[in-house]
Amino acid sequence: MPPVPLTSGQIGQYREEGFIVVPALLSSAEIDEFVAYEAAQDPGCRDHLDNHRKDPHWRRVATHPSIAGGARQILDAEPMIVQTMYLEKYPAAEGKGTALHQDGHYLPNEPNTLMACWLAMSDTDGENGGLCVVPRSHMRGLYATHKATNAKDHQVWESEHLMRDREGKEWKQVFYSFEIDALERSSVLNLEVPKGAGVFFNGMTIHGSYGNRSAGRVRRAFATHFVARGTWMYRSDVQDLFPVT
């Protein structure tokens, strides 16, 4: 399938709204191939953030011309992959969401060039736990947060990471399941993203998802995070950036 270039209008919308939904980034056949492959793998492998380095199937999605090419256009620079995630959300109790947050809280970087492509690998919407965003939230910097407490609807966790600056100074920092303070529910937009379409969004755009409340529809997505070449990542576990070329 040939790459899908972004138009100037789409890039303008991304700058203004903090996200865009782009149809048909990957074909149904390309997605079915990955989903079938991943179904035969050990689910524990998904805990790693660098599968694009080790697994050609993951790398093929993350570096797909429509995905990496879109990131290149938005960044106006060579995109470097920070991390990749395959996100399956099953119905009922298994299908918890991710509290609304900004990726800049999880992946501090300098200068701030962080962005992501969230690729729908099934039809996704509010019912089965699809992606939510807060338009224009990327314009206000990092919001105040608290640890998510609604364990019924969202994953709740806490972990410690080694941090390192450009001069080699190291320290430990605790990260947790961030949730934005005093966020008005009316500002949250539930996206309907069909299989094969993707959402490009800024690392400062508030986003997340709710639980899968469908009768039997698995929500599948593949997320790739990018920064422009030359960006410094402070978390030591994602400092080995991967070029898409």
CA angle 241, 239, 155 (to 5 degrees): 100
Instruction: For residue 103, tell me if it sits in a domain.
Output: yes
CATH number at residue 126: 2.60.120.620
- The answer to whether the CB of 211 falls within 8 A of the CB of 46 is no
- The answer to whether the CB of 38 falls within 8 A of the CB of 17 is no
* DSSP run (H or E) holding 219: strand 219-228
CA angle 77, 78, 79 (to 5 degrees): 105
Domain count, the chain: 1
- The answer to whether the CB of 61 falls within 8 A of the CB of 198 is no
* Amino acid letter for position 21: V
Instruction: For residue 2, tell me if it sits in a domain.
Output: no
pLDDT of the residue at 4: 75
Instruction: For residue 1, tell me if it sits in a domain.
Output: no
pLDDT of the residue at 47: 92
Instruction: For residue 239, tell me if it sits in a domain.
Output: yes
Q: What is the span of the domain harbouring residue 117?
A: 8-243
Tokens coding 34: 């990955």
Spatial separation of the C-alpha atoms in residues 148 and 88, rounded to whole Å: 20
pLDDT of the residue at 2: 63
pLDDT of the residue at 150: 78
Instruction: For residue 3, tell me if it sits in a domain.
Output: no
Per-residue pLDDT of the chain (245 residues; tens, 9 = 90+): 567 799 999 999 999 999 999 999 999 999 999 999 999 999 999 999 999 999 999 999 999 999 999 999 999 999 999 999 999 999 976 678 899 999 999 999 999 999 999 999 999 999 999 999 999 999 999 999 999 887 777 888 999 999 999 999 999 999 999 999 999 989 999 999 999 999 999 999 999 999 999 999 999 999 999 999 999 999 999 999 999 98
pTM: 0.96
Instruction: For residue 105, tell me if it sits in a domain.
Output: yes
